[in-house]
Structure 1
Amino acid sequence: MPMLLDEGFRVVAPDMMGYGDTACLPHDVPSHREAPRVPPASNLRAYTYKSVADDLRQLACLLNCTTIVLGGHDWGAQVAWRVAQWHPHLVSHLFSIAGPYRPPAMHWTPLDDMVKLAPQFAYQKQIASGVLEREFHTTEGLTHFLNILDFSGDDENQASFDPTHGFHLEHLKGLGRGSLLTDEERDIYLSKYAQTGLHGPCNWYRTRRENFEDDQLLPTTIIDVPVLYIAAERDRVFSASLAQDMEHFIPQLSRTSVDAHHYAHMEKWQDVNRILSAWLHVQFPR
């Protein structure tokens, strides 16, 4: 975000549903009294791409934005793709980091069947099951969980997370700190997770059926705006093969990659910033 601000862009970074202040009652977050409230037992529809796309459209309206440049990583990238499809007149440009475009499926595929075709998505079964939010519901537990995200591609991380299985819980509790997050960043993440717990974030893995049903009504499968896709070359889930057909749906696609694991924007932030800045200069010449 600092790079984008330095480039003169207005930057808005909303909390995604279930994260940050979205699951807090007003008196818990006095500085964000208008934050959406999502009780733990909230309907999963609040977490669907369509619902979040509509939320972002409303946010853009509140901010008097007729068009926006939209970007995201992982789940945020999947949301960005669908915002551009549900509200094509809103998104003028789009960038995605480690989140390839996936067109709407023609037929429903249960998660178990999908894992047979793409074993690297087996970890989603563990996350959707509820075991993580039960195991790591205390501050100490959340600290252990945060350690796995902080390691990215280090050897210890490789042993603690296997996409064909999930998190090896017995390894998580023994992990030390990683190097991706500063002390200040780590404290912010921990304080937010302590407010919300992991239930909301895990709900994103429980909406496959709802997203499939919504996708059948998408007005278009094409995203005809300038798009930048930055792949993470060492990502163990989103391999290059998953992004090979994106040009069929995105006529104005530019693509590149960085030598990084899944959290490329944190691990190789200088490279990502350089690539994104160069692309934006082409799109918005001065």
Structure 2
Amino acid sequence: MSSAKLVPNDPRVKTETAQIRGKNYKYIVGKPEGEPIDTIVLIHGFPDLGFGWRCQVPYFMSLGFQVVVPDMIGYGGTDAPEALEEYTYKSVAADINELARKFVGEGQIILGGHDWGGVVAWRLTMWYPELIKAVFSVCTPYPPPSSTFVPLDVVIAAGHLQNFTYQLQFAGPDVQAKLQGKEKVRQFLSALYGARGPNGEPGFQVLEGIQFDNLPLLGQPPLLSEEELDYYTEEYLRNGAPELRGPLNWYRMRKLNFEDELEVADKGFRYTMPALFITATEDSALPPSMSKGMDKHFDNLTRGEVKASHWALTQASEGVNGQVGKWLDTVLKGALKAAL
């Protein structure tokens, strides 16, 4: 079986849907040749889809894994509920736990995440440790639950987390209201995936957010082919206007997540299962320095690094795949050696 990246509607994987806790989830399933040695569940972030793992799914299948990759709540073929409570880490963790149980019953999964999906991976492991054999995150460090709530605008005004300034715009009304319809959604996606205007004009900057005036100037994003951009755009149109409401809701959850996690913040949580964290050296949204101090929460944390921007899954796919593969071989005590 080829390890080349997935293309839209790739015949090597199946697209399925399931009712999960009253919501319709769309996900892709990749099965290896022969009996799977284990099951990997992959969680995407913003503004991705399950398709964001297109460079990893065939690789993991070639190693003998069954791979399950959902569109997360608010995205693509999965429902985008109005209620913000459906987007909390705790609610999403319950969703993915139920989805995973469809494949492994009372068994365990290996869990991976990127961007918001990385936070979900850490939190899902926190809420359902019995489900997780091992967990990895690309770009997203572990943020321990806090017993004190501080609004993001206050944090930024105090000179901290300047790289999250764009999140204030995303949580507000402007992006959702201004960018509706196929053309605007396509421009938005182009901006996030690195497109620039003829004179280098950016469509997005972490210290400001979307540069609305520059959007009509943008060319083809370097991180998506035209076919891939077409696919992303069509998937974003599935849930109707305002098309960005669901994905942007992930930026509106700070207080609700804090309230859910207070009980854990007070007693703490320790990761006893094997964990892997891969940083991207040029990630402006989640710079490697943000992971300082996270090791103390883990019994068995492996660190890796790739030379890439935030979009390491595609920019540095060989590096990500190789490091995850070697770590998995250690976790599974040599079961992958033939494939590696």
The question of a shared fold, defined as TM-score above 0.5 by the shorter chain, is answered with yes
The answer to whether structure 1 residue 251 and structure 2 residue 294 are counterparts is no
The answer to whether structure 1 residue 134 and structure 2 residue 182 are counterparts is no
173-182 vs 75-84, greater mean Cα deviation: 173-182
The answer to whether structure 1 residue 50 and structure 2 residue 90 are counterparts is yes
TM alignment of 1:142-221, pairs within 5 A: 142-151=185-194, 159-196=202-239, 197-218=243-264, 220-221=268-269
Q: Deviations over 1:210-253 (max 9, x none)?
A: 00001112374211111111111111121222101111111211
Aligned length in residues? 270
The answer to whether structure 1 residue 11 and structure 2 residue 67 are counterparts is yes
* Alpha-carbon offset, residue 158 of structure 1: 7.8
The 8 Å contact of residues 295 and 301 in structure 2, kept in 1 or not, is answered as: yes
User: The residue matched to 1:251 in structure 2 has which SS?
Assistant: coil
The answer to whether structure 1 residue 60 and structure 2 residue 100 are counterparts is yes
Distance 1:45 1:125, change over 3 A: same
Q: Identity over aligned residues, as a percent?
A: 36
The 8 Å contact of residues 197 and 218 in structure 2, kept in 1 or not, is answered as: no
User: The residue matched to 1:133 in structure 2 has which SS?
Assistant: helix
Q: TM-score, length-normalised on structure 2?
A: 0.75
Quick one: distance in 1 between partners of 2:200 and 2:258? 32
- Which structure has the highest helix share of the two? 1
Quick one: distance in 2 between partners of 1:149 and 1:6? 30
Distance 1:155 1:206, change over 3 A: farther
For 1:256, the aligned partner's letter is G
Runs (4 or more) in structure 1 with deviation over 4 Å come to 152-158
The 8 Å contact of residues 152 and 263 in structure 1, kept in 2 or not, is answered as: no
User: Hey, what does 2:163 align to over in structure 1?
Assistant: 120
Distance 1:264 1:80, change over 3 A: same
- Greater RCO, CA 8 A, separation 6+: 1
* Alpha-carbon offset, residue 150 of structure 1: 2.7
- Which structure has the highest strand share of the two? 2
Quick one: distance in 1 between partners of 2:268 and 2:70? 25
* Runs of 5+ unmatched residues, structure 1: 24-37
Task: State the Cα RMSD in Å.
Answer: 1.9
User: Hey, what does 2:290 align to over in structure 1?
Assistant: 242
For 2:186, the aligned partner's letter is T
* Runs of 5+ unmatched residues, structure 2: 1-56, 336-340
